[in-house]
Amino acid sequence: MEIEWRRPLLFALPAAALAFFIGIQFDGPSGQATPFDQIGYPVAFSLLLTLSLVLWKRPARVNAVVTALVFAMSSLFLSKLVFILFFIPQSYQVQLEMTETFFWIPALQILSFFIPNLRGARNASTIFFSLFLLVSVMYLLQVIGSQPSQGTVYALLQLNLANGVLFIVTSAFIGFKEKYVRSISAYETVRELLDTDLLTGLPNRQRLHEVMNTAISEQRTFALLFIDLDGFKLINDTLGHVIGDRALQETSRRLQKLEDQHYFAGRLSGDEFVVLVFDDPTKASQIAQTLLTDLARPIVAEGHIVHLTASIGMSVYPDDGSDSQQLIQHADSAMYTVKTFGKNGIRRFELATDSAIERLKQIEHALTQALTCQQFHLVYQPICSLDDGVVRKLETLLRWTHPTLGPVSAAEFIPIAETNGQIIPLGEWALRAACQQAREWIDRTGLAVTVSVNVSPLQFTQVNFVNQVRQALGDARLPASALEIELTESAVMRRLEVVKASLHELQRLGVRIAIDDFGTGYSSLAYLRDLPINCIKIDQTFIHDLSTPRRAPQFALALIEAVIGIASTLSLQVVAEGIETQKQLDMLRDLGCDLGQGYFLCPPVAADAALETVLASTLFPPGSSPTPLD
Ligand code: C2E
Ligand code: MG
Ligand code: MG
């Protein structure tokens, strides 16, 4: 606890007045204790004591107290001067009395520095100085002609000279202080503007971080409520930005209503707000609940009634994060979970659930920039003949390396890109890049290597998909026969009629079609007969099951056998995906499977390494039994 050692000093002034009064009582020998002093000092003592007590109890009242003190004491000593000059009984020595009055003047002038209202301070010293001067001049005018006491005139001159010097010095100091205060307040205005969100008047992101960092440095516990309005984008898009802005302003007003010194509201961006609840995080859920109800009240904006609700995520310092960034991120993730599970609710951050969702969100966000930032590249996995190991085609696979997330697997980001539609530009990029690469190989070696490109259902059902393919081939000057499109069964079955037309068009172009992950989708075999399909890729789970007896190897075996049988009837190629062991390879070869792909043969590799596998012609070393590449 801070020791407030300065407080007792407040009583120095009343103590001095008391000392003077006591001194007067014992001042018999000099006989200078005037009737004014007998009344004036007790009055001064009580006044100073009262003001000191007020200041002791209410330190915030310092402005009013100091101003009252300066004016009251000035009046007291001015009265004393008037008394000395005009009313003092003959027996007293005026000069001596005036010296005593001198004593207080510097103290009062200095005190006026502390009047925070600078005009008040300036007025105090001007009034004080002018009145002293006026009283002196009046005295001199009165005694002129008579025989004035030389000593009194001399003392008056001294008093006013000293007073004048002090007045000039005080005014100079006050002027300087005024200038300084003005520049400080200009600085504060700029700072305030920099820290304020202009639309809503709430503290902005920067200020929120500052407030949190201060609390963290003081080890002060607090809860962070991350508030995101549900469906705000829709309001902005349908009713316009003016109404959107009004809604945001009204939301801010509601957030500010809870005036509490343990509460701090700010706007992060768009429709995202943050409320900090200090010292008692248990209160935070209660506050969040109140806010949720309050924010759900309809907003009237420009004649429209806007209904908004909010999703609130909460994180607590120090339990859920050690810095402001992390606390915001975690509360944001909890909020995101609320959104995922139906909006209009509150949730506290939970590491296990929310961090998984947080990663999904990070990936989704990072994906928006990834293509323009050239973070993708393609790798190629050879597909070879199981008889002799000769590489027949290369499957292109997308790879993404994000600067902070690191490599993100296709299995993780492709489904996200599929849900938010980013797969469309991404897939188009992959298609074009694969065609360009195949062109480069032709230019370098004269060999037309078939590249097999994965196409998502969403991309495939775009009306201009076939055109996209035509253009990619045209731009790369690649023969259509060097391109194969891999589609999953679900993609084919989803909108069979549309897909059928596109497949026929692609066939006319000369592009080959493969069904990827066969066996995991509909497995309606009829479409194999009706559609222009060239190749079936048996899903790796069946290949895996072949060598793992516990997981129904008979079923996997029967399915692979059946698929190979049908494929041979329909003259389709069969590729076994995900071959990882010699045993699987042997079994597949015995079953009569044409082609295979898998880590055991060759993992996905960069373009140059992929070309080498093609040029080496076989993935099996000369002799016989295949051995894996590294
Ligand atoms: P997919 O088309 O079935 O691709 C085969 C996946 O199996 C690849 O995973 C490949 O690296 C992996 N793989 C290859 N050999 C083995 C093996 O022996 N064992 C095991 N366990 N896995 C093996 P990847 O690259 O992670 O891709 C996953 C999926 O992402 C792909 O499955 C495909 O559906 C999708 N994908 C990849 N690139 C693209 C693309 O450019 N466009 C689209 N639309 N989807 C893509
Ligand atoms: Mg594939
Ligand atoms: Mg596959």
Q: For residue range 455-484, list pLDDT tens digits in order.
A: 998 899 888 999 999 999 999 999 999 999
More confident residue, 306 or 186: 306
> If you write DSSP's letter for every residue of 492-507 in order, what string do you get?
HHHTHHHHHHHHHHHH
The ligand minimizing its distance to the Cα of 486 is 2
Q: Is the pLDDT of residue 370 over 50?
A: yes
Cβ–Cβ under 8 Å, residues 512 and 483: yes
* Residue owning the nearest CA to atom 10 of ligand 1: 604
Looking at residue 524, its pLDDT comes to: 67
The residue whose CB lies within 8 Å of the most ligand 1 atoms, and thus the one to mutate among 418, 424, 454, is 454
Pairing of strands 346-348, 309-317: parallel
Distance CA 121, CA 171 (A): 9
End of a domain among 157, 191, 225? 191
Tell me, what DSSP letter sits at residue 618?
A: B
Cβ–Cβ under 8 Å, residues 315 and 331: yes
* 504 contact partners, CB below 8 Å, separation of at least 6: 532
Return the SS3 of 152.
helix
Return the SS3 of 594.
coil
What is the mean predicted confidence (pLDDT) over 207-232?
Answer: 94
Q: Is the pLDDT of residue 104 over 90?
A: no
Pairing of strands 573-576, 595-596: parallel
Q: Is residue 259 domain-shared with residue 396, that is, in the same domain?
A: no
Please give the distance, rounded to the nearest whole angstrom, from the Cα atom of residue 397 to the centre of ligand 1.
6
Looking at residue 69, its pLDDT comes to: 82
The pLDDT tens digits for 522-540 are 656 778 888 999 999 999 9
The pLDDT tens digits for 33-88 are 778 888 888 998 998 899 888 888 887 777 788 888 888 888 888 888 888 888 88
Please give the distance, rounded to the nearest whole angstrom, from the Cα atom of residue 464 to the centre of ligand 1.
25
Q: Is the pLDDT of residue 583 over 70?
A: yes
* 155 contact partners, CB below 8 Å, separation of at least 6: 94, 95, 98, 99
Please give the distance, rounded to the nearest whole angstrom, from the Cα atom of residue 101 to the centre of ligand 1.
98
- Asked if residue 454 belongs to a domain, the reply is yes
Single pTM value for the model: 0.57
Looking at residue 621, its pLDDT comes to: 57
Q: Is the pLDDT of residue 411 over 80?
A: yes
* Residue owning the nearest CA to atom 42 of ligand 1: 454
What is the mean predicted confidence (pLDDT) over 567-581?
Answer: 94
Task: Retrieve residue 425's tokens.
Answer: 């530009």
Q: Is residue 263 domain-shared with residue 147, that is, in the same domain?
A: no
Q: Is residue 157 domain-shared with residue 78, that is, in the same domain?
A: yes
- Asked if residue 357 belongs to a domain, the reply is no
The ligand minimizing its distance to the Cα of 604 is 1
Task: For residue 597, give the ligand 1 atom closest to its CA.
Answer: 15
Q: Is residue 340 domain-shared with residue 481, that is, in the same domain?
A: no
Cβ–Cβ under 8 Å, residues 519 and 538: yes
- Asked if residue 153 belongs to a domain, the reply is yes
Q: For the ranges 195-209, 253-267, 503-517, which has the lowest average pLDDT?
A: 253-267
Q: Is residue 602 domain-shared with residue 504, that is, in the same domain?
A: yes
Band of residue 3 on the pLDDT scale cut at 50, 70, 90: very low
Looking at residue 522, its pLDDT comes to: 61
- Asked if residue 365 belongs to a domain, the reply is no
Looking at residue 523, its pLDDT comes to: 58
Q: Is the pLDDT of residue 627 over 50?
A: no
- Asked if residue 18 belongs to a domain, the reply is yes
Return left, alpha or beta for 240; rule: phi > 0 is left, psi -120 to 50 is alpha, else beta.
left
Pick from 604, 610, 585, 605: which is nearest to 596 by CA?
585
Q: Is residue 332 domain-shared with residue 245, that is, in the same domain?
A: yes
The ligand minimizing its distance to the Cα of 597 is 1
More confident residue, 127 or 430: 430
Q: Is the pLDDT of residue 624 over 50?
A: no
What is the mean predicted confidence (pLDDT) over 91-107?
Answer: 72
Q: Is the pLDDT of residue 445 over 70?
A: yes
Distance CA 133, CA 148 (A): 18
Please give the distance, rounded to the nearest whole angstrom, from the Cα atom of residue 537 to the centre of ligand 1.
12
Looking at residue 626, its pLDDT comes to: 46
* Residue owning the nearest CA to atom 32 of ligand 1: 411
Q: Is residue 80 domain-shared with residue 213, that is, in the same domain?
A: no
Return the SS3 of 547.
coil
> Where residue 568 sits, what CATH number does that domain have?
3.20.20.450
Q: Is residue 289 domain-shared with residue 420, that is, in the same domain?
A: no
- Asked if residue 361 belongs to a domain, the reply is no
Please give the distance, rounded to the nearest whole angstrom, from the Cα atom of residue 396 to the centre of ligand 2.
8
Distance CA 13, CA 584 (A): 100
Distance CA 568, CA 592 (A): 10
Tell me, what DSSP letter sits at residue 343?
A: S
Q: Is the pLDDT of residue 5 over 70?
A: no
More confident residue, 102 or 407: 407
Looking at residue 260, its pLDDT comes to: 66
The residue whose CB lies within 8 Å of the most ligand 1 atoms, and thus the one to mutate among 379, 397, 584, is 397
The residue whose CB lies within 8 Å of the most ligand 1 atoms, and thus the one to mutate among 367, 399, 414, 601, is 414
Q: Is residue 493 domain-shared with residue 546, that is, in the same domain?
A: yes
The pLDDT tens digits for 275-293 are 999 988 788 999 999 999 9
Pick from 577, 165, 99: which is nearest to 381 by CA?
577
* Residue owning the nearest CA to atom 37 of ligand 1: 397
Q: Say what angle helices 423-445 and 465-476 make with each other, to 10 degrees.
A: 30
At 128, the amino acid letter reads: F
* CA 341 to the chain's CA centroid: 23
Band of residue 431 on the pLDDT scale cut at 50, 70, 90: very high
Looking at residue 188, its pLDDT comes to: 78
What is the mean predicted confidence (pLDDT) over 383-406?
Answer: 95
What count of residues does the chain have? 630
At 180, the amino acid letter reads: Y
Cβ–Cβ under 8 Å, residues 613 and 391: yes
Q: Is residue 345 domain-shared with residue 390, that is, in the same domain?
A: no
End of a domain among 349, 382, 398? 349
At 310, the amino acid letter reads: A
Count of the separate structural domains present in the chain: 3
More confident residue, 286 or 494: 286
More confident residue, 381 or 283: 381
Band of residue 378 on the pLDDT scale cut at 50, 70, 90: very high
Percentage of residues in the chain having pLDDT higher than 90 = 47
Q: Is residue 104 domain-shared with residue 156, that is, in the same domain?
A: yes
- Asked if residue 356 belongs to a domain, the reply is no
Distance CA 21, CA 40 (A): 9
Terminal alpha carbon distance of the chain: 69
Q: Which domain holds residue 451?
A: 373-615
End of a domain among 169, 191, 213? 191
Q: Is residue 498 domain-shared with residue 607, that is, in the same domain?
A: yes
> If you write DSSP's letter for every residue of 456-470 in order, what string do you get?
-HHHHTSTTHHHHHH
Q: Which residues line ligand 1 (CB under 6 A)?
A: 381, 397-398, 409-411, 414, 423, 427, 430, 454-456, 486, 516-517, 540, 577-580, 597-599, 604
Band of residue 553 on the pLDDT scale cut at 50, 70, 90: low
Q: Phi and psi for 55 in degrees, rounded to 5?
A: -65, -35
Q: Is the pLDDT of residue 217 over 80?
A: yes
- Asked if residue 621 belongs to a domain, the reply is no
Cβ–Cβ under 8 Å, residues 441 and 447: yes
